[in-house]
């Protein structure tokens, strides 16, 4: 595969008519090494954020050895790409046949659950195995998150004692896990959740071997600039150390967005302009799912030509015949945008390509590696604290 310096070089060389995913392996390596070296525990990559085999290999080579898988297809994928990886089946609701296959065919020993029925299912599917790590998911608030994950999964702390006690009897190792919601904008999200873990442990009077703080670690987007991840790590570590757990208990986390977001940007072509609406060749049913359905803003820039025009606010329409294929933005671009221009849209490595569909006959794309830096980063420059900057890992030639 040809490697380009940046999106502008690619646009001039190829003049592509279909969307192009612009991947930056060095950005993913940097994010992975940051978690491996700075998080005070074990980091599991949440595969759902971006299941690209190339990204999985990059993360593995950078020190991520455990992977949070949520379906039997993700189990099969990661086992095929990374035969030695540790797979953690962290979806609290699984088909019994999927549990059976994961355990007996793919070596999965780590499962999450949030009810007695799921525990019974795991016991049946594994033949009452004695080598299980069972992580009970408790419900916590999503008050600091941009996307709530507080309603679908998790046992209420008030009802968790019996489940924790039963799981303790069945498990070789017992864990407690939770999810504070996606894009948590304050470390307090994890502090408050860990206080609920404390209550659950005390009320159940069980020995806990693992505390898994889940995902929710943020990336950086327009209008969403979180604190340094090191602030999150320190807050988690302080609260974890005060829990009523054994000295040997492990701390885990499940970053998805924070590991993948900077890996990919998107190159699109403007097909038409109508006032301050740009019709582009990707959209709501493709890589721009979050921009359309959640209303998130993403950084954007014109590439392939120079302009001194003033900047203006634009919205996007995608290529399908559906009026819902619309991204309100606003996306800040030069006021002289026109059909034939190319736009790079950044920070789409997480929940971008993973959300693509073939709706209306669209969805084709190509991918190339870039050598430049992502359009923004939590792992570079002013977004790092001094302590972070001293510990960041550089990759020569990246």
Q: Enumerate the active-site residues.
A: 321
E strands along the chain, which residues? 3-4, 20-23, 42-46, 66-69, 86-89, 110-113, 133-137, 145-147, 173-177, 182-184, 210-212, 250-253, 264-274, 277-280, 300-303, 311-317, 326-334, 342-345, 366-370
- What is the separation, in whole angstroms, between the first and last Cα of the chain? 16
Are the beta carbons of 22 and 48 closer than 8 angstroms? no
Considering only CA atoms, which of 331, 379, 344, 380 is closest in space to residue 22?
A: 344
Q: How far apart are CA 283 and CA 67, in angstroms?
A: 29
Q: Is 127 left (phi over 0), alpha (psi -120 to 50) or beta?
A: left
Are the beta carbons of 201 and 241 closer than 8 angstroms? no
**Alpha-helical runs (H) found in the chain:** 7-14, 25-38, 53-61, 72-81, 96-106, 116-125, 160-170, 188-204, 229-241, 257-260, 289, 386-391
Please tell me whether the peptide bond between 231 and the residue prior to it is cis, using omega within 30 degrees of 0.
no
């Amino acid at each position: 595969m040809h490697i380009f310096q940046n999106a502008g070089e690619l646009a001039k060389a190829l003049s592509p008519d279909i969307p192009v995913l612009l991947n930056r392996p060095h950005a993913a390596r940097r994010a992975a090494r940051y978690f491996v070296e700075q998080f005070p525990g074990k980091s599991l990559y949440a595969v759902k954020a971006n299941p690209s085999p190339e990204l999985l290999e990059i993360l593995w080579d950078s020190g991520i050895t455990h992977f949070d898988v949520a379906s039997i297809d993700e189990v099969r994928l990661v086992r095929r790409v990374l035969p030695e990886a540790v797979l953690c089946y962290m979806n609290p609701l699984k088909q019994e046949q999927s549990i059976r296959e994961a355990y007996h065919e793919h070596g999965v020993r780590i499962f999450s659950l949030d009810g007695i029925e799921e525990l019974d299912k795991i016991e049946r599917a594994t033949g009452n195995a004695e080598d299980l790590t069972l992580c009970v998911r408790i419900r916590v608030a999503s008050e600091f998150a941009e996307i709530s994950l507080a309603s679908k999964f998790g046992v209420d702390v008030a009802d968790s004692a019996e489940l924790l006690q039963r799981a303790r009897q069945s498990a070789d190792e017992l864990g407690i896990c939770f999810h504070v919601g996606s894009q948590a904008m304050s470390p307090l999200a994890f502090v408050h959740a860990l206080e609920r873990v404390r209550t659950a442990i005390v009320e159940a009077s069980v020995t806990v071997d693992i505390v898994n703080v889940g995902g929710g670690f943020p990336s950086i987007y327009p209008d969403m600039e979180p604190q340094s991840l090191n602030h999150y790590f320190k807050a988690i570590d302080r609260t974890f150390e005060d829990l009523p757990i054994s000295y040997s208990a492990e701390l885990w986390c499940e970053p998805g967005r924070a590991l993948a977001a900077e890996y990919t940007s998107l190159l699109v072509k403007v097909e038409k302009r109508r006032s301050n609406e740009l019709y582009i060749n990707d959209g709501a049913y493709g890589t721009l799912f979050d921009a359309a359905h959640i209303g998130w803003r993403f950084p954007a820039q014109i590439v392939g030509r120079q302009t001194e025009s003033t900047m203006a606010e634009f919205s996007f329409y995608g290529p399908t015949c559906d009026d819902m294929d619309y991204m309100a933005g606003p996306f800040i671009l030069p006021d002289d945008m026109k059909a034939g221009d190319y736009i790079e849209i950044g920070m789409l490595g997480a929940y971008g390509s993973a959300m693509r569909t073939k709706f209306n006959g669209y969805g084709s794309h190509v991918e190339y590696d870039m050598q430049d830096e992502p359009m923004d980063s939590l792992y570079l420059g002013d977004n790092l604290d001094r302590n972070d900057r001293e510990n960041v890992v550089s990759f020569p030639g990246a």
